[in-house]
Amino acid sequence: MAETSKTALDESAPGPAARRLILKLLVASETETLDASDAIRACALFGISDNNARVALTRLANANLIETAGRGTYRLGSEGRALGEDISAWRSAEQRVRPWDGTWVAVLIAGLGRSDRTALRVRERALALVGMRQLEEGLYVRPDNLVGGVAHARERLYGLGVETSAPVFTVRDLDTGLESKARGLWNGKELVKGYRDSRRLLEKSNARLGTLPVELAAKEAYLLGDEAIRQLVFDPLLPEPLVTVADRVAFGSEVRRYDEAGRSIWQRFLAARG
């Protein structure tokens, strides 16, 4: 995927960046299209000006993330369709998990340069997305509990921007000290607490969305749903006994329910043109 696609959703702001919001609305669209006027209305909910919304549309089109589908209407472009698949991958996350036999996937980045800040940022994001943590200087690991094993991990790391000169391999039979250190790289209790807290937050919001004006409901559903999905996207998908898997599964199920409710609310909002 092109570098533009990798960074298109990375913008940080108090609310959603215009480009991120527009892309996600297109990914969720039942008709697979979005009118420019609806994009502008959606952006206005979050205090994004008409001009900034139009600039975002232009930049997304220039990056092949969206393309015109008629006068004033857009659909996902070639880069956007690929990115849309990445955005939606969280839905099937648990299907990518397999039983863990104690083996670790490792990547050695000690020989890679650190002077190129862009390359370093891409590398660090890739390692985070694959759920890897540093065991020793320049050596990152994760449990080998994902479908496809080391071959898939290697393909994903390289696809996300890690230099192909970085060896990706499996490690087993660590000594007692390193094994204990590896298992302690993630705070399993904190992860489980995050699953439970976020699940309760979504349940509480879902119960009250129907009582809110559609504009407020759409805004709340987007902000809370976006944060919950981000939590799943960056979740390392650890096995037992490092986390309580049942709590992660329950959280994922609640995110899917909340996402469906949010989609319905946004359809109502976009249909209610003034």
pLDDT in tens, 218-234: 999 999 999 999 999 89
Task: Select from 63, 89, 115 the last residue of a domain.
Answer: 89
The model's pTM: 0.87
- The answer to whether residues 74 and 19 belong to one domain is yes
End of a domain among 61, 89, 117? 89
192 and 179 inside one domain: no
Whether 6 has a pLDDT exceeding 80, the answer reads: no
- Examine the domain organization and report whether 83 and 133 are in the same domain: no
Considering the domain architecture, whether residues 49 and 105 belong to the same structural domain is answered as no
The Cα–Cα gap between 132 and 29 comes to: 33
The whole-angstrom separation of Cα 78 and Cα 226 is 23
The domain total for the chain is: 3
β-pairing, 133-136 vs 168-171, is: unpaired
Q: Are 32 and 64 members of one domain?
A: yes
The CATH number covering residue 57 comes to 1.10.10.10
pLDDT in tens, 38-74: 999 999 999 999 999 999 999 999 988 999 988 889 9
Residues 184 and 186: their CA atoms lie apart, in Å, by 5
Q: How far is CA 248 from the centre of its chain?
A: 16
Give me the domain span that covers residue 32.
3-89
Same domain, 140 and 210: no
Render pLDDT for 88-124 as a digit per residue (tens, 0 to 9).
Answer: 889 999 999 999 999 999 999 998 877 788 888 989 9
Q: For residue 84, what pLDDT is reported?
A: 76
CATH classification of the domain holding 169: 3.30.70
Residues 132 and 172 occupy one common structural domain: yes
Q: Give pLDDT tens digits for 247-274.
A: 999 999 999 999 999 999 999 999 887 5
Picking from 47, 71, 89, the residue at the C-terminal end of a domain is 89
- Looking at the fold, whether 264 and 232 belong to one and the same domain comes out as yes
